[in-house]
A and B are shown apart, each in its own frame.
Chain A
Amino acid sequence: MKEIMKWELKNLLRFPILEIIIVFAVFQIGVIGYINIIPSGGLSIHSFHLEIGKVTYSMITQHLINSRIIVYLITSLLFTISFAYELDTNLTKIYMSYPVKRRDYFVSKFVGCFAVIFLTFSFVGMGFSAFIDGDYANVNITSPFILVYMLALFLLVFFASSVATIIAIFSKNTALSFIGSFFALYIFDSVAVNIKLSPSCFMNNIWHHFFTELATCHEGQIVYHITYTEVIETIYHPLFFSAVLFFISFIYYTKYFEVK
């Protein structure tokens, strides 16, 4: 499995795929948006730093939410290259002729593509948080609010990846997979705005929960009242739906998929 993963990553990180992803990520995330005012009177240094991190990642997460289309485009492209294109060019057939388990082959491909997108956007977000104010670079890079940005990113990429994978393995065609998965994601996102499964809905919910609600100040310490139940309620629907799609793809690929 390690070897397949290495090969997959080598394939995905070849010139100029990584460069394209980085440029798109920086273009979408690397710009100054509205940064909230921090009422800092009476805060402890720790709480003051927490608030700096909060407003910074609030802005960066907002940029991520606004750049969903780019994530859809990159996800459709990578998963098409990884699944459908390799079927078209008979590479999958060659690999299947080796003593490779289908389960390992599928998981390596999925995890490889997912990791490339997730890590690129994570590092771009962290890098930009350091870029916007050198004085607070260490504060922003170590802020716990980075986890909120990563949670939002994880859910978005997992959702897009699951949809792209299922379309890629059922269509078995490069053009159909790329255009189909991109438009399926785009249309679903645009039409189903109020459904909890829609990325526009769950991403905005995460942003509101973590960045705008439930904080009180007590003797200089800011206390964030975010309960596990609320977090689970926010992420449950997209996580469950993405996991179901992933398992359908996994079972189909490992048990019923025919390589012609």
Chain B
Amino acid sequence: MKRIGFIIFLIGLTILMNFNVKYIPTKSGNSTFDLKADSVHTDTHYLLYGEVKFYYSAYDEFQGELFVLNREQAEHFLETNEIEYMKEFQLENEGMVKFFNENTGFYTLVIKNTSEKDLHFEYSLTTSNKNIKDYIRMSIYIAVLGIFIIVIGVIRDKASKLS
């Protein structure tokens, strides 16, 4: 038990060290596509905790909406085509919108063209490379769990020796 705890502790410590010393990509590739009038485009991204910036540009006079969906909402959207969302933004021609992402993970972005024209749309996403709070928290949890198991192992050993 002590050894299992020690291994879990080491795993937590290694992940903690990894995220502090290694480079984490913070910019998505550019996504380019044609967006027909009154239609939607859906992409799923891996987003880090913290501020996410969505840079977009569309030719012609564009008006649209951006929806950010979590897992349940994404699956509901895929099943029913109805949009339930965490966040909603109005988009116009070109620009940048930013939002705060509270948990690292996969999120689905739905871009809706509400203008009456077909157009060409392009966007990219960036997050800050300092946004590794989630990973640090989770790796510390793992390391603490390891220490907890070690302590239980030590107590068990002592109890069995006493009895």
A131 CB, min distance to chain B CBs, angstroms: 7
Given contacts A18-B7, A131-B138, A135-B105, contact A45 B42 (CB under 8 A): no
| A30-48 near B? 1/0 per residue, CB < 8 Å | 1111111111111111001
A22 engages B71 (CB within 8 Å): no
Do A52 and B106 touch across chains, with their CB atoms under 8 A apart?
A: yes
Chain B CB within 10 Å, residue with most, of A35, A36, A41, A48: A41
Interface size class of chain B, counting residues whose CB lies under 8 Å from the partner chain: 35 or more
Closest to B3 in A: A15
CB distance from A126 to the nearest CB of B (A): 13
Q: Which B residues between 107 and 143 are near A, CB-CB below 8 angstroms?
A: 108, 135, 138
0 or 1 for each of B34-69: is its CB under 8 Å from A? (1 = yes)? 000000111111101000000000000000000000
B102 to chain A, nearest CB (A): 13
Encode B7-45 as 1/0 by CB contact (under 8 A) with A.
100110011011100101100110100000000111111
Chain A residues with Cβ under 8 A from B43's Cβ? Answer: 37-41
CB-CB under 8 A from A239, the residues of chain B are: none
Chain A residues with CB under 8 A of B148: none
Q: Are B28 and A45 in contact (CB under 8 A)?
A: no
Cβ of B82 under 8 Å from chain A? no
Query: Which residues of B lie under 8 Å from residue A51 when comparing CB positions?
Result: 44
Complex CA gap A44/B77 in Å reads 10
Q: Residue-by-residue, is A158-176 near B (CB-CB < 8 Å gives 1, otherwise 0)? A: 0000000000000000000
A247 at the interface (CB under 8 A from B): no
Name the residue among B6, B18, B104 with the largest chain A CB count within 10 angstroms.
Answer: B18
Interface flag for A134 (CB, 8 Å):
yes
A40 touching B11 in the complex, CB below 8 Å, given contacts A31-B18, A131-B138: no
CB contact between A37 and one of B7, B28, B48 (< 8 Å): that residue: B28
Cβ of B44 and Cβ of A37 under 8 Å apart? yes
- Tell me if A26 is interfacial: C-beta within 8 Å of chain B: yes
Let me know if B29 and A37 touch, CB within 8 A. yes
- Kindly list chain A residues whose C-beta atoms are within 8 Å of the C-beta of B104: 132-133
**B41 pairs with A41, CB closer than 8 A:** yes
Q: Which residue from A15, A23, A41, A134 sits with its C-beta under 8 Å from B14? A: A23
A106 vs B7: C-alpha distance when bound (angstroms): 29
Smallest Cβ-Cβ distance to A59: which chain B residue = B46
- A40 and B108 in contact, given A26-B18, A48-B75 (Cβ under 8 angstroms): yes
A22 to B3: give the CA distance in the assembly, Å.
Answer: 13
CA distance A45 to B48 in the complex (A): 23
Given the contacts A31-B24, A34-B25, A135-B71, A22 and B105 also touching, CB distance less than 8 Å: no
Residue on B nearest A140 in the bound complex, by CB: B106
Q: Which residues of B contact A39 (CB under 8 A)?
A: 42-43
Find the residue from A19, A32, A51 having the highest chain B CB count within 10 A.
Answer: A32
B3-A27 in contact (CB<8A)? no
Q: Write the residues of chain B forming the contact surface with A, with a CB cutoff of 8 angstroms.
A: 3, 6-7, 10-11, 14-15, 17-19, 22, 24-25, 28-29, 31, 40-46, 48, 70-71, 74-75, 78-79, 104-106, 108, 135, 138
Given contacts A23-B10, A37-B43, A52-B44, 15 further A-B contacts (CB under 8 A): A26-B10, A27-B14, A31-B19, A32-B25, A35-B46, A38-B45, A39-B42, A40-B74, A41-B42, A41-B43, A48-B78, A131-B15, A133-B104, A134-B105, A136-B71
